[in-house]
Amino acid sequence: MHARVLTAPFQPGKLDSLLSRLHENVLPAARQHEGFKQVLLLTDPHTNKAIHLSFWETEGHLKGSETSGYLPEQLAGAMPFLAAPPMQEVYEVEIEQMPQPSQARHARVMSGHTQPGQLDEAVRVVREVFLPEFQKQKGFQGLLFLVDTSSNKCLSISFWESEADMKGHESSGHHGQQLAKGAHLMVAPEQIVEAREYYEVTVLA
């Protein structure tokens, strides 16, 4: 499975309009395309930043949604509500443990780059070491692990029942201990996570 990730700031006070367009235009149009699976929208009301992820069965299906005109049309329709054009990335979905829409309220998004040739090992460590430990944590609801083989970039999205559960996992020190087990695979072992952000799970459909 593949994912298109669009990241953009939205204009203050425009989130409701953006959500209306998503439900009334984007989702119905996407569901007409072969290979479309699901949409996930994460938002941060404090920074007015949004991450829109659409999931497709194959890379061919994802690319087909671009050449058909679907993507340019939907981006043009969203621009009146955005503060800047979205940044677009494409990933392979290596680990997909999606939460139930009614259970996941918050998400932690982390990114980093592995050393050349270490991407497969990073996926193995996340699946066999990190994920079983996540599943023991209070409020944990699911995990996505996405990779870009062209740049060795990893994107991890963990889902939590509450913000307190999400932040509590970090403050306990347990999260840092787990991350340290994969430090040797990263470009900068002393900075395992290059970016860490927190969002609300706004749409999962």
> Given this structure, which CATH class describes domain 93-199?
alpha beta
Residue 10: CB atoms within 10 A of its CB come to 23
Q: What integer pLDDT is reported at residue 184 of this predicted model?
A: 86
Longest dimension (CA), the chain: 48
Give me the amino acid identity at 129: V
- SS3 of the chain: the string is CEEEEEEEEECCCCHHHHHHHHHHHHHHHHCCCCCEEEEEEEEECCCCEEEEEEEECCHHHHHHHHHCCHHHHHHHHHHHHECCCCEEEEEEEEEEECCCCCCCCEEEEEEEEECCCCHHHHHHHHHHHHHHHHCCCCCEEEEEEEEECCCCEEEEEEEECCHHHHHHHHHCCHHHHHHHCCHHHECCHHHCCCEEEEEEEEEEC
For residues 156-178, average pLDDT: 88
- Closest C-alpha to 122, from 169, 194, 173, 184: 184
Residues carrying CATH 3.30.70.100, the chain: 2-91, 93-199
Residue whose structure tokens are 């040797």? 184
pLDDT, tens digit, for every residue of 82-132?
A: 999 999 999 999 999 998 878 889 999 999 999 999 999 999 999 999 999
Beta-carbon contacts of 78 under 8 Å, excluding residues fewer than 6 positions away, are 18, 21, 26, 86
Confidence of residue 171 (pLDDT cuts 50, 70, 90): confident
State mean pLDDT over 5-18.
96
pLDDT tens string 36-71? 999 999 999 999 999 999 999 999 999 999 999 899
Residues in the chain: 205
The amino acid sitting at 9 is P
Predicted local confidence at residue 190, as pLDDT: 67
Mean pLDDT for all residues in the chain: 93
Fold of 2-91: Alpha-Beta Plaits (3.30.70)
Identity of the residue numbered 155:
L
- For position 15, what pLDDT does the model report? 94
**pTM of the predicted model as reported, rounded to 2 decimal places:** 0.93
